[in-house]
Structure 1
Amino acid sequence: MSLATLGWSAFFDAQLAPQEAGLVAMRIATVHRSRLTAESIDGPQRLTLAPNINTTDFAVGDWVLVEPETHLLHRRLERLALLQRHTEGGRSPQLIAANIDTLFIVTSCNEDFNPARLERYLALANEAGTNPVIVLTKADKITDTSGYVEQAAALQSGLTVVTLNAKAADAIDTLAPWCGPGQTVALVGSSGVGKSTLLNTLSGKTDEDAQATGSIREGDAKGRHTTTSRSLHAIAGGGWVIDTPGMRTLHVSDVSAGLDMLFAEIVALAPDCRFRDCTHAHEPGCAVQAAISAGTLDAARLERWRKLQDENRANTPVQTGPRGNKVQKPRGWRR
């Protein structure tokens, strides 16, 4: 194994200082309350942590520099991409995954399919600077997936949507374009949509070391949590996958750029409104409302944009205080 096959690139190489030539680069594989493990060119390693190290400052997928003999963690390198979310009442964001090239947003072709929830994942992916791909599982359970594909593809311009059976071997071929040597993907989605099953298929895990999978309730297709922590796994094709637990709630906060990418058609219409501060609700000369009347924009889409904009504005901390000594102050939480 080489650093390149682990996902190392010129971006990380440029961060190395001459005096750090004796250190070795490793990639965080698991994050626990009091310990970190990492993948290295020599295989999995448990890192030694200094007393002042807080493991919550690290994400699976991070690159770190380590003392070769003691495995003492020296420092973390700057991230190329970071997927994170804010939790209600939390002082700092919860780190989900770092340095991922592609985010597989996994949902299924049943009652779990929810455009509003997918839009939240897309906003996070856009803000993180990673490439989102919608993965529709359980495609083998229905005769026609086109309705689901069309709804998903309409959520964002240029969005890629694929369908598959997570248990089938050809799922590897379907996802191969994003799983090549040195590439890193992450799996996110609700419980029960097939993330653990897909992980087992991609990584070729046997029954003994396979990730546990759970059933879903027949009434509403809701799943049970089987993945309880984030972890890095080697997958077919030479890439790496980060598995994440199912998220019961997904709030948006500090994702303004991500929302602008997600709702690009609304952002593009806004400059044509008569008033610069148009809310696209009741003002005369609103280009967005005109598009709804013309049938070129879905009214439900506008309502979801408004809800996410309001939630993001309410949840994003604001900077306050004198110039040169500003601090972040949380706003009132909204969901």
Structure 2
Amino acid sequence: MAALGWSPFFAAQIAPDEAHLQPLRISNVHRSRMSAQSADETLRLVLPPQTSTADYAVGDWVLAEPETALLVRRLDRSSLLQRRTEGARAQQLIAANVDTLFIATSCNDDLNPARIERYLALANEAGTRPVIVLTKVDKVDDPAFWRDQVTGLQRGLEVVSLDATSESAKAILAPWCGAGQTVALVGSSGVGKSSLLNTLTDKTGEEAQLTGSIREDDAKGRHTTTSRSLHAISGGGTVIDTPGIRTLHVSDLSIGLEVLFAEITELAPECRFRDCTHAHEPGCAVQAAVKAGSLDPARLERWRKLSEENISNTPVMTGPRGNRKVKPAGNRR
């Protein structure tokens, strides 16, 4: 179970009267069913009445009756990656109990720093370590050109370059794929996530995840992964594969943007006004840094855009204490 990510954090949550229950890790979530992994096998969980699979994420740890595989309850999470989709009232759960988020992007026109910043904010909010994985380095003459575009997007950000189909990818990603560690793969369709999954898990033939080519005109790929799933990494650890995400909305963030834009966060207290928007106010330390050349104006503009989007998309609580209601996102009047 330790190889699946079981740790004292989860063991401490089991009450004495639950000692007979079997810990399992969710490996697949569908609309009406869920599968979970034990140390020896994959089981289809029996769901109690009124159970909503939308409340569970791949990577969750649950307790079940050992004889019947009846789901009893979910254990608290150490981390949770989630996003708000267009028109949805609740957030969509992406993956749970993830130690490292591999943000995959290829060395071609798919690479979009502004989109990568959204993934970084998502990882920061979840408390998950982000690592940028540049794929398709075998298709370009100079990977450094692409690496330079992402290296400075966040302080201390780790960036690796690899060929997702090569065995060397295992060694490159080994620091984050040890026994008991959980990584998740996110990124647009066509960047090589499925190829990388196959390499990390030694999946071949019928077991392998389908892979797809990209369109030459815009470097975009087609969806080959249609659901989230948990897989064992050869040599240790687990990896959660996710479908390609074309649009990632920013919402419900508190510290995600502060970590991403640390250079702006640290300057803000030096502004003359506490509620400074860093746009036109006198005595703005952020604007002063832009004028001095120590802060990239493009970074400030992206910070402003994501901050405004976060406010617009995040529901707020209104009404008197004891009778508070959720005010829908996008309506602040």
In which range does the TM-score fall when normalised by the shorter chain?
A: over 0.9
Number of aligned positions between the proteins: 332
2:101 counterpart letter in structure 1? L
2:227 to 226, 229, 233: 229
2:89 counterpart letter in structure 1? R
Pairwise mapping of residues 214-253 of structure 1 onto structure 2 (< 5 A)? 214-253=212-251
Q: What's the counterpart of residue 122 of structure 2?
A: 124
Q: 3-state DSSP class of the match of 2:4? A: coil
Is the 8 Å Cα contact of residues 30 and 232 (structure 1) preserved in structure 2?
A: yes
Q: TM-score, normalised by structure 2?
A: 0.98
1:190 equivalent in alignment to 2:193 = no
Q: 3-state DSSP class of the match of 1:256? A: coil
Is the 8 Å Cα contact of residues 108 and 136 (structure 1) preserved in structure 2?
A: yes
Q: Distance in 1 between matches of 2:292 and 2:154?
A: 20
Q: Distance in 2 between matches of 1:291 and 1:322?
A: 42
1:298 counterpart letter in structure 2? D
Q: Distance in 2 between matches of 1:207 and 1:218?
A: 27
Per the TM alignment, residue 133 of structure 1 is displaced from its structure 2 partner at its CA by 0.4
Is the 8 Å Cα contact of residues 197 and 213 (structure 1) preserved in structure 2?
A: yes
Q: What's the counterpart of residue 172 of structure 2?
A: 174
Q: Distance in 2 between matches of 1:128 and 1:147?
A: 30
1:94 to 92, 95, 99: 92
181-190 vs 144-153, which moves further:
144-153
Is the 8 Å Cα contact of residues 88 and 333 (structure 1) preserved in structure 2?
A: no
**CA spacing shift, 1:288–1:175, aligned 2, 3 Å:** same
Q: Distance in 1 between matches of 2:331 and 2:96?
A: 26
Q: Distance in 1 between matches of 2:271 and 2:146?
A: 33
Is the 8 Å Cα contact of residues 180 and 237 (structure 1) preserved in structure 2?
A: yes
Per the TM alignment, residue 325 of structure 1 is displaced from its structure 2 partner at its CA by 2.6
Q: What's the counterpart of residue 134 of structure 1?
A: 132
Q: Identical aligned pairs, as a percentage?
A: 71
83-92 vs 136-145, which moves further:
136-145
1:5 to 3, 8, 16: 3
1:218 counterpart letter in structure 2? E
Pairwise mapping of residues 30-179 of structure 1 onto structure 2 (< 5 A)? 30-179=28-177
1:98 counterpart letter in structure 2? A
Per the TM alignment, residue 295 of structure 1 is displaced from its structure 2 partner at its CA by 1.4
- Shift >2 Å, 4+ stretches: none
Per the TM alignment, residue 328 of structure 1 is displaced from its structure 2 partner at its CA by 1.8
Q: Distance in 2 between matches of 1:179 and 1:89?
A: 36
1:247 counterpart letter in structure 2? I
2:150 counterpart letter in structure 1? A
Is the 8 Å Cα contact of residues 278 and 286 (structure 1) preserved in structure 2?
A: yes
Q: What's the counterpart of residue 294 of structure 1?
A: 292
**What CA deviation, in whole Å up to 9, does each residue of 1:17-51 have, x standing for no partner?**
00001101000000011111010012111111111
Q: What's the counterpart of residue 203 of structure 1?
A: 201
1:111 counterpart letter in structure 2? D
1:69 counterpart letter in structure 2? E
2:178 counterpart letter in structure 1? G
Per the TM alignment, residue 254 of structure 1 is displaced from its structure 2 partner at its CA by 0.7
Q: Distance in 2 between matches of 1:8 and 1:59?
A: 16
Q: Distance in 1 between matches of 2:200 and 2:39?
A: 21
**What CA deviation, in whole Å up to 9, does each residue of 1:180-230 have, x standing for no partner?**
111100000000000001001101001221100111010110111100000
Q: What's the counterpart of residue 282 of structure 2?
A: 284
Q: Distance in 1 between matches of 2:244 and 2:318?
A: 35
1:138 counterpart letter in structure 2? K
Q: What's the counterpart of residue 315 of structure 1?
A: 313
1:274 equivalent in alignment to 2:272 = yes
1:76 counterpart letter in structure 2? R
Q: Distance in 1 between matches of 2:275 and 2:52?
A: 43
Q: 3-state DSSP class of the match of 1:150? A: helix
Q: TM-score, normalised by structure 1?
A: 0.97
Q: Distance in 1 between matches of 2:171 and 2:235?
A: 9
**CA spacing shift, 1:333–1:215, aligned 2, 3 Å:** farther
1:265 equivalent in alignment to 2:263 = yes
2:267 counterpart letter in structure 1? L
Q: Distance in 1 between matches of 2:259 and 2:98?
A: 19
Q: Distance in 1 between matches of 2:43 and 2:143?
A: 43
Per the TM alignment, residue 143 of structure 1 is displaced from its structure 2 partner at its CA by 1.8
245-254 vs 317-326, which moves further:
317-326
Q: Distance in 2 between matches of 1:150 and 1:10?
A: 40
Is the 8 Å Cα contact of residues 179 and 239 (structure 1) preserved in structure 2?
A: yes
Is the 8 Å Cα contact of residues 172 and 236 (structure 1) preserved in structure 2?
A: no
Q: What's the counterpart of residue 305 of structure 1?
A: 303
Per the TM alignment, residue 136 of structure 1 is displaced from its structure 2 partner at its CA by 0.4
